[in-house]
Amino acid sequence: MVPLVNFAPGLNVSRLCLGTMTFGEQNSLQQSFRILDDAYASGINFFDTAEMYPVPQCRETQGRSEEYIGRWLKESKVPRDSVVLATKITGPSGQMTWIRGGPVCLDAKNILEAIDSSLRRMQTDYIDLQQIHWPDRYVPMFGEIEYDPDRQFSSVPIEEQLEALGSAVDAGKVRYIGLSNETPYGLMKFLEIAKRGNYPRIISLQNCYNLLCRNFDSGLAECCHHEGIKLLGYSPTAMGILSGKYFSPDGGPQNARMNRYRGRYSEGESRYNLSKLAVRSAAQEYVNIALKHNIRPASLAIAFVLTRPLVASVVFGVTDVSQFREALDSCRVHVTSEIAAEIDAVHAKYPNPCP
């Protein structure tokens, strides 16, 4: 069984969190139910989704991931208080015009409308963890590494965002709030303003963390340590690269995400670009470490994230039962000092090739 950890007062979550961004696109309703059933039976009580899911995002499928979770809870008669539901509000987007016209910004109206819509799709009265998917203001994200001050023009005051989230908490619609894809500056400003204005406090940060992307350790880790913020590390296998499946002579299964959606998933492709020598070389060396120690590469990749001291839970996604078993096996993998040293040697050679 997947172990639990205390996440917040009165809230224990499993060390593995099932991400659902394939539900409604790569996974049918029946397949999604099977994965959810297996996860729940294995002791996973933590499920993460977002109003924009599934990906690649489009008008026709938007919201299906939340809808599938809601249907599963109802049709499988899963007690609501036995699971922890986390979802995310879409930040400003010039592409997803079908979500509140963009959305242009994360003002109070957008935040409250998003929460009500998520509640309706998931057929529940409350959300355990409501997160902002990415900041309202401009920040480098999804592979970008340089901050351009000329791109920051205006943004909704953090006070307004916290006041809207606080009103949802007061109304019993949300229990806790968190951030995602945030920076040290953003996290600390949310904490500072929440304290000053007596708004609900951020309890978690969901940011990318894997063998190819350990940027969290520079800046954010210190903030989270001193402020008691839990990290939810997403993309532990770097969109499947660290499983090794893309290194086969034929380039991997045709239904694998990087092959099936080539050219349609810019956020993932820009970050996990195997045409870059450092990315391919680092990933291959990490895969080789796993194989050398008779561990499935995906299992070692997830197990590594579980060893990080500030990680409360690892958000992983799967599309079939075999992938799920590899994720589950990560809880039984022992990252020895020898393995850790080999990983650190690769990291020193190729530091964070997928920021």
Q: Please name which of 193, 182, 271 lies closest in space to residue 231, comparing C-alpha atoms.
A: 182
Number of Cβ within a 10 Å radius of residue 143: 17
HEC readout, 140-189: CCCCCCCCCHHHCCCCCCHHHHHHHHHHHHHCCCEEEEEEECCCHHHHHH
Catalytic residue (one of 40, 53, 199, 246):
53
Backbone φ and ψ of 285, nearest 5°? -70, -35
| Cα 223 from Cα 276, distance rounded (Å) | 31
Under 8 Å between Cβ of 46 and 16 = yes
C-alpha distance from residue 9 to each of 44, 202, 227, 229, 352 (Å): 19, 13, 16, 13, 34
Q: Cβ contacts of residue 50 below 8 Å, gap of 6+?
A: 21, 65, 66, 87, 88, 89, 90, 133
| Cα 228 from Cα 219, distance rounded (Å) | 14
Number of Cβ within a 10 Å radius of residue 54: 24
| Cα 58 from Cα 24, distance rounded (Å) | 11
Number of Cβ within a 10 Å radius of residue 170: 10
| Residue 68 bears catalytic tag | no
| Residues facing residue 84 across a β-bridge | 46
- Which active-site residues does the annotation give? 53
